[in-house]
């Protein structure tokens, strides 16, 4: 209640003490705005309980956008501009926005999950989101949101971002997602440097997640990577032996972007790896 009152005082100051531009905000607009401030980013369906009907809500949202209190991301999705940033330029938190762009199951994943776990070597102007159905790319405020289809969303944990819960893949699922799709992880070098920064991973969870993927290629690639980073990630020999049992006769490229004829064969895991893998490990 104290926060609500202080925001009202702040907004009244902004609206009525600015000699250059005097604007008004109706009681209904205030109600919608202050509730959207709590959500930070919200869909129209989140705000319907605060307005009599959908038509009125659309009018209120449109008015608040024109007055600078809200940003319209796309139809049905809005971000609140904090009072102190009105007319000052406000950048919406990319991860909060990512948590609202899809109405179905989702998880922030791949390189974006590495960033949220605090282990990435660099930060991208792109957010990767695993979702349960196909969706076209989105770009907002110079940040691209790339959607990656997964028939099953699993290995998800909730974390707080500016006090709001968002879904992100857990460390083990993040590690496996990156090994499975290096192109969404910044490439092989970025991936190796980043996942080697995990202080710990749960070995039984890795086994469980691999079983849910049920892809022999991923078993073999994961075996190679975990063997390569055995000391950094404290990987027990038992887990490596378990993964070794899934190595088949077919060989796979460690990185799908490698061209035919490139690399060398690692016979232990039946994986074709880049010639400079040893040099990458030294960097790690």
Q: Compute the average pLDDT of residues 38-54.
A: 92
- For 23-34, what is the mean pLDDT? 89
Listed as own residue / partner, the contacts of 251-255 with beta carbons closer than 8 Å and 24 or more positions apart are: 251/220, 252/217, 252/220, 252/221, 254/182, 254/188, 254/221, 254/224, 254/225, 255/182, 255/183, 255/187, 255/188
For residues 269, 264, 185, 205, the Cα torsion angle rounded to the nearest 10 degrees is 10
Within this chain, do residues 145 and 266 fall inside the same structural domain, yes or no? yes
**Which residue did the predictor score with more confidence, 219 or 134?**
219
- How many domains would you assign to the chain? 2
Q: Are residues 158 and 55 in the same domain?
A: no
Residues 178 and 65 in one domain: no
Q: What is the pLDDT of residue 12?
A: 45
Query: Which residue, of 71, 90, 109, is where some domain finishes?
Result: 90
What does the pLDDT read at residue 88? 84
Query: Once rounded to an integer, what is the mean pLDDT over residues 77-93?
Result: 93
Judge if 171 and 271 occupy the same domain.
yes
Same domain, 25 and 137: no
Q: Both tokens of residue 211?
A: 């079983």
Q: Give 157-189 pLDDT, tens digit per residue.
A: 999 999 999 999 999 999 999 999 999 999 999
240 and 106, same structural domain?
yes
Same domain, yes or no: 179 and 81? no
Range in 86-90, 197-201, 203-207, 242-246 the model is least confident about:
86-90
| Percent of the chain surpassing pLDDT 90 | 76
For residue 14, what pLDDT band results from cuts at 50, 70 and 90?
A: very low
Question: If pLDDT is split at 50, 70 and 90, which confidence band does 18 have?
Answer: very low
147 and 76 in a common domain: no
pLDDT score, position 13: 41
pLDDT at 8 exceeding the cut of 60: no
Flag whether pLDDT at 23 surpasses 70.
no
Domain boundary among 62, 90, 118: 90
Q: 56, 90, 124 — which closes off a domain?
A: 90
Q: Is the pLDDT of residue 145 over 70?
A: yes
pLDDT of 16 reads 41
**Structural domain containing residue 277:** 95-283
Same domain for 64 and 179, yes or no, is no
Query: 93-138 pLDDT, tens per residue?
Result: 999 999 999 989 999 999 999 999 999 999 999 999 999 988 888 9
Same-domain check for residues 81 and 100: no
Strand-pair category, 252-253 with 271-273: parallel
pLDDT above 70: residue 283: no
Do 106 and 86 belong to one domain?
no
Token pair listed for 23: 């604007």
d(C-alpha 101, C-alpha 42), whole Å: 9
What is the arithmetic mean of pLDDT over 278-283? 62
Whether residue 147 is found in the same domain as residue 263: yes
Specify the length of the chain in residues. 284
Cβ(109)–Cβ(95) under 8 Å? no
* Residues facing 223 on adjacent strands: none
> Quick one: pLDDT at residue 31?
94
pLDDT of residue 38: 94
Q: How much of the chain exceeds pLDDT 70, in percent?
A: 89
């Amino acid at each position: 209640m104290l926060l609500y009152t202080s925001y009202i005082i702040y907004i009244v100051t902004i609206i009525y003490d600015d000699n250059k531009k005097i604007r008004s905000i109706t009681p209904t607009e205030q109600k919608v705005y202050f509730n959207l401030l709590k959500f930070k980013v919200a869909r129209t369906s989140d705000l319907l309980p605060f307005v009599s009907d959908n038509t009125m809500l659309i009018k209120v949202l449109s008015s608040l956008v024109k007055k600078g209190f809200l940003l319209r991301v796309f139809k049905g999705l809005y971000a609140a501009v904090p009072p102190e940033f009105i007319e000052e330029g406000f950048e919406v938190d990319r991860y909060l926005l990512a948590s609202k762009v899809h109405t179905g199951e989702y998880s922030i994943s791949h390189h974006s999950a590495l960033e949220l776990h605090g282990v990435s070597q660099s930060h991208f102007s792109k957010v990767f989101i695993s979702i349960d159905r196909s969706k076209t790319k989105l770009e907002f405020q110079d940040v691209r949101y790339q959607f990656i289809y997964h028939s099953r969303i699993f290995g998800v944990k909730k974390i707080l971002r500016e006090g709001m819960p968002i879904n992100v893949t857990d460390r083990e699922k993040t590690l496996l997602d990156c090994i499975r799709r290096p192109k969404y992880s910044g490439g092989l070098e970025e991936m190796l440097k980043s996942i080697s920064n995990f202080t710990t991973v749960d070995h039984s969870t890795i086994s469980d997640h691999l079983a849910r993927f049920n892809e022999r290629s991923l078993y073999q690639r994961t075996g190679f990577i975990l063997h390569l980073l055995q000391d950094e990630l404290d990987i027990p020999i038992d887990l490596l032996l378990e993964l070794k049992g899934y190595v088949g006769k077919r060989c796979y490229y460690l990185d799908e972007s490698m061209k035919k004829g490139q690399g060398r064969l690692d016979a232990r895991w039946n994986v074709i790896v880049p010639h400079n893998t040893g040099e990458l490990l030294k960097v790690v």
